[in-house]
A and B are shown apart, each in its own frame.
Chain A
Amino acid sequence: MDLLSVLSKVELFDGLTPQELSDVARICTQHEYRTGQVITTQGETGGELYVIADGFVEVVVSPSGQNPSPRTVVHLGRGQLFGEMALVDYGPRSATVKSIADHTLIQVIDRDDFNRLCEADNHLGYVVMRNMAADMSFKLRHYHLTGR
């Protein structure tokens, strides 16, 4: 499947014009991961946004304090994004994310490229930020429903 087709099925980019979608595609870099490969590490700095084109990843959080055991909080599959917290708040990675399938394909977007695009095209910036907020809301609802 070509990149534009992949991106058009990602909620983050829902509502973009074909030209805007092409602009996003130009700042994407595809990476492939095997089972067990770490993509981001909790506590490290990083400014990339990750969009899962295919495969599965596992999101693992190691709480500090009395219960330091790592805990898998969710599996994410096709069309989902991660890395958005560090993208917008410039803080350290909040979780370790690793591939749990061979041939997991990730589109990686650099923060500086992303910010330049949002500032140059305010409609694109508004739509993507609105969708990112909706995605965070969806994840929060999912988390509440897990009863954890």
Chain B
Amino acid sequence: MSAIYKVSYVVIGESHPGAILNTDHKPNIGDHISLGSRDFIVVEIVDLMPARGEFHFLHATLRPAPA
């Protein structure tokens, strides 16, 4: 069984509602993330809740990527 990461994305530095989605890869600080048509950079990652089974629950803080 491969891990599934359920991630709460919150954007700082601009008005964006944030997002929740599942991903196969654990996001890391410095990663570029696309939410819709916008690109962001991960600046913080924390465990939001303890993992259960193959599910991991993370919170990621994003900043808009430089154009």
Q: Number of residue pairs across A and B with beta carbons under 8 Å? A: 76
Interface size in chain B (residues, C-beta < 8 A): 21
Q: Are B20 and A138 in contact (CB under 8 A)?
A: yes
| Interface size band for A | 20 to 34
Closest to B4 in A: A9
Is B52 in the interface zone, CB < 8 Å from A? Answer: yes
B20-56 near A? 1/0 per residue, CB < 8 Å: 1111000000000001100000000000110011110
Query: Which among B17, B18, B49, B53 is the interface contact of A138 at CB below 8 angstroms?
Result: B49
From residue A4, how far is it (CB to closest CB) to chain B in Å?
A: 14
Given A11-B55, A142-B10: A73 touches B17 (CB 8 Å cut-off): yes
Given A14-B55, A142-B18, A146-B17: A75 touches B6 (CB 8 Å cut-off): no
Within 8 Å CB of B22, what residues of A?
9-11, 77-80
Q: Are B36 and A142 in contact (CB under 8 A)?
A: no
Within 8 Å CB of A141, what residues of B?
8, 48-49, 59
Q: Are A75 and B54 in contact (CB under 8 A)?
A: no
Q: Are A11 and B6 in contact (CB under 8 A)?
A: yes
Q: Are A138 and B19 in contact (CB under 8 A)?
A: no
Within 8 Å CB of B21, what residues of A?
56, 75-80
- Give the distance in Å from the alpha carbon of A75 to the alpha carbon of B6 in the complex: 13
Within 8 Å CB of A15, what residues of B?
53
**28 residue pairs A–B, Cβ–Cβ below 8 Å:** A9-B22, A10-B22, A14-B55, A15-B53, A56-B21, A56-B36, A59-B17, A73-B17, A74-B19, A75-B36, A76-B20, A77-B20, A77-B21, A78-B23, A79-B4, A79-B22, A80-B21, A100-B36, A137-B49, A138-B20, A138-B48, A138-B49, A139-B20, A141-B48, A142-B8, A142-B10, A142-B48, A145-B8
Q: Beyond A77-B22, A78-B23, list 9 extra A-B contacts (CB 8 Å).
A: A72-B17, A75-B17, A75-B21, A78-B22, A79-B4, A138-B20, A141-B48, A142-B18, A145-B10
B: residues with CB less than 8 A from A are 4, 6, 8, 10, 17-23, 35-36, 48-49, 52-55, 57, 59
